[in-house]
Amino acid sequence: MEKIMRLTNAPAWHGFKRYAAVTLPLVLLAACSTTETIPPGIVKPATPVTPPPAAVVVPPQQAELKSLIALQDRLYDVAAPLLVNNALLCRNNARNLLGFTAKTKYSFTAEFIAAASSLGLTDQLQITGVLAGSGAAKVGLQRGDLLVAIQDKPVPVGADAERQTALMLGPLVNGRNNIKVTVARNGGNQTMNVPLTRACAFGIELGNTDNVISYADGRRVLVSAGMMKFTQNDDELALVIAKEMAHNSLTHASRQRNTATMTGVIDNLIRLRPDTTSLSGAAGVKPYPQQLDGAADKLSLYMVARAGYKVDNAAAFWQRLATQYPATVLNGYTAIHPATDYRISAIQQAVADIQAKQASGAVIQP
């Protein structure tokens, strides 16, 4: 899904109704009612039959957009603690961030503008996500707030609002502790001084493919829709995100001379309609040597633990992934990370070290 104010690259970070429980008593009540006796010669008027309500037809593009947004929201939610709690481990990639994402109806390709409008987006930037643990969350910024002003300057509106606002925010985050943000909520304006949050400044991207894969190009992390569906819980998804964050922190793409290739792959996969012909093989991505991969596994597990996720089942998760998608699947994860045995050994050692530090109350860092 195309977007400009992504999770961290830009200065901004960027009910289930229980119908069965309600209707079941009504059904039982009707079944227990007494039978009415009609006197002879009296014809009872026919009871009007109310036709069932027409099924609500959701336009295909709206359904597709909602599905993509749901995946992206989950990806952002799981990534948030990893980004906020690991500035220390991100080396030269930590930055001051406001801590929210914002979008307009133009944040998506032209074919989805109508669908975005039906979901409540307009030409005014609207907060669509707040980074848990960030300054934005602490002062009470909420999803649905409309951005009115930043440091008393009006926030741009229209098709280019995201880019213009990002350019406005860029110079403001350096040398400040907080940013004044005015939002419209419930018919009135509210102004808040939002503390800047030191966090890992990696863009977090959703890859629009069912291939079970993830990538890192030095500044971004991409996790495919297929990988998200493969993970069984947030702890497993955190392992995948953190692994790519670790590759970025350790500058593995540049050390592999693979940055341009990774960037091209990510640029393709974030499109709503990726070029699938490039996914038929390895897309030119070089497999990681076992030493680099093992180092990224170790660092990623510390990131996962510092973010509050579980590391206990890390080895089992990566082994399951390698078994179901072996290196022979050229567009799968293991083809780029083939040293499974070496990685599992490194993972088990790192998990044991982390658990020992957790048990002793020591600082969780390599």
More confident residue, 346 or 271: 346
Per-residue pLDDT tens over the stretch 307-317:
999 999 999 99
Per-residue pLDDT tens over the stretch 314-362:
999 999 999 999 999 888 999 999 999 999 999 999 999 999 999 999 9
Task: Give the pLDDT of residue 15.
Answer: 30
3-class state of residue 95 by DSSP: strand
In degrees rounded to 5, what are phi and psi of residue 269?
-75, -20
Block residue for tokens 């409008």? 117
Task: Give the pLDDT of residue 222.
Answer: 97
355: tokens are 């658990």
Per-residue pLDDT tens over the stretch 283-295:
788 999 999 999 9
| Mean pLDDT value across the chain | 85
pLDDT at 225 over 70: yes
Q: Would you place residue 64 in the very low, low, confident or very high pLDDT band (cuts 50, 70, 90)?
A: confident
User: Can you list the domains of the chain with their CATH numbers?
Assistant: 60-199 (2.30.42.10), 202-360 (no CATH)
Note the Cα 313 to chain centre separation in Å. 22
Block residue for tokens 């990681």? 288
pLDDT at 21 over 90: no
Amino acid making up residue 155: V
Lowest mean pLDDT segment, chosen from 35-44, 57-66, 87-96, 117-126: 35-44
Average pLDDT on 185-203 reads 94
Q: Would you place residue 50 in the very low, low, confident or very high pLDDT band (cuts 50, 70, 90)?
A: low
How is residue 104 annotated by DSSP? Answer: -
Phi-psi region of 307 (alpha: psi -120 to 50; beta: other; left: phi over 0): alpha
Task: Give the pLDDT of residue 272.
Answer: 82
Task: Give the pLDDT of residue 282.
Answer: 63
Average pLDDT on 122-150 reads 94
How large a percentage of the chain has pLDDT more than 90? Answer: 67
Distance CA 99, CA 91 (A): 20
